[in-house]
Structure 1
């Protein structure tokens, strides 16, 4: 009886630990006060409205959207052929290649950002925008390869062979048979990569510069100057956006099957 009582209590404490900060931020974003504080001082929507009036937020949001969409699409363009080759052919050192592709997940992002800044941006003169784009693409590539590989593993290879026997070329079978049957995995990889890239902080912290800042980095800089609830309001909006995207992906794609 005691064990049955402990389990729900422990579960409740874990849920409070994980979700509690989110509810605190949401509550603070509706505060009527002029400083970021909890419990909130009254109720107001003025900080939610202010988020859309800050020019730096709008510019950094556009930069983050460009990096998240462009970087994820580029990662998919590289990751889909790589996943197909490693899944369908016995290539030498394929496991080594798979491990190397996964290194951006294993290596801390702060090291990746520092290395790009030290060896590419400073000595080579690589532009900050291009460096950010390459970094976000590299960070998203492992997710693209892993999710698409999982989709290919669940796809029967004899379907493709049947298309070839019926007169289709290998390339035609890939576009007409393989891609339509793994589109759910591709969309899941895109959503996972988009969310990962959009919320990326360590790499962007090193590679951001004047006029080119992602939204999370801009929020950090804003808090150094102004300590009002607008950052909490923006954080709540971004959290709801991420939750909505993941929920929709799970509802329509079965997101948990791929990750």
Structure 2
């Protein structure tokens, strides 16, 4: 009897641990009071509406979208050929290359941000927006390589060879045969990279400056001066956005096969 109750109890506690903070944030965002509090002081949607009226949130949201979309696309442009080479050819030092590509997710983001600031931005007066773009590209590149590699490993190589034997060039076979057959993996890599870049904090914390901030950094700065539930409302909206993107990706792409 105890054994049958133990597993459901552990599962319930795990769900509370994982979902509990999200429920608290959503409840706090619906508070009718003037300060961030849980349990909420009444129910109201005014803080959700206020999120869309704050100029800094709109500007930083646009910057985060630009970095997430642009950085992920550039990472895919670099990562797809790299994944193809690592998957299709036995390259000297291939495992070393895989390890080096994975370094941005192995090394703590604070170290990456500090290194870019110290050795790129400060000595060369490098533009902050470009520094953020390259940093976000480097951070999502490992996901692009790994996810696309997984998709390529599941694709039969003889399909490409058949296209070459029928007269197609190697590049033509890649674009006509390989790329269409791994499009789900490429889309999954884009979604994973987008979510990772959009929610990224440590690197952006070192590189942001007034007027050039990502949304998470702007939210941190906002909470230093204002303690109303609007940050909770924005957090809840972003959480619902991320959940919706991942749900749709799993529904239509089988996202869990690649991550």
Task: Provide the residue aligned with 2:169 in structure 1.
Answer: 169
Match in the other structure for 2:76: 76
1:85-134, Cα deviation, whole Å (9 max, x unpaired): 11111111111001000000100001000000111010111111011000
> Are 1:153 and 2:185 counterparts?
no
Q: Measure how far apart 1:242 and its partner are.
A: 0.1
Show the counterpart of 1:180.
180
Q: More deviation in 64-73 or 119-128?
A: 119-128
Task: Tell me the matched-pair count.
Answer: 259
How far off is 1:9 after superposition?
1.0
TM-score by length of 1: 0.99
Give the distance between the partners of 1:210 and 1:36, measured in 2 at CA: 25
1:213 Cα deviation (Å)?
Answer: 0.2
| In 1, Cα distance between equivalents of 2:41 and 2:179 | 53
1: CA distance between counterparts of 2:42 and 2:80?
51
Give a deviation string over 1:159-205, Cα, whole Å, max 9, x none: 00000000000000000000000000000000000000000000000
Q: In structure 2, what is the Cα distance between the partners aligned to 1:13 and 1:62?
A: 38
- Distance in 2 separating the partners of 1:240 and 1:92: 44
Moved beyond 4 Å, runs of 4+: none
**Match for residue 62 of structure 2?**
62
Match of 1:243 in 2: 243
Which residue does 1:205 correspond to in 2? 205
SS of the residue corresponding to residue 23 of structure 2 reads helix
Unaligned runs of 5+ in 2: none
Tell me the TM-score normalised to structure 2 length. 0.99
RMSD: 0.5
Partner of 1:167: helix, strand, or coil? Answer: coil
Tell me how far apart the structure 2 counterparts of residues 211 and 35 of structure 1 sit (CA, whole Å). 26
Structure 1: segments with no counterpart, 5+ residues = none
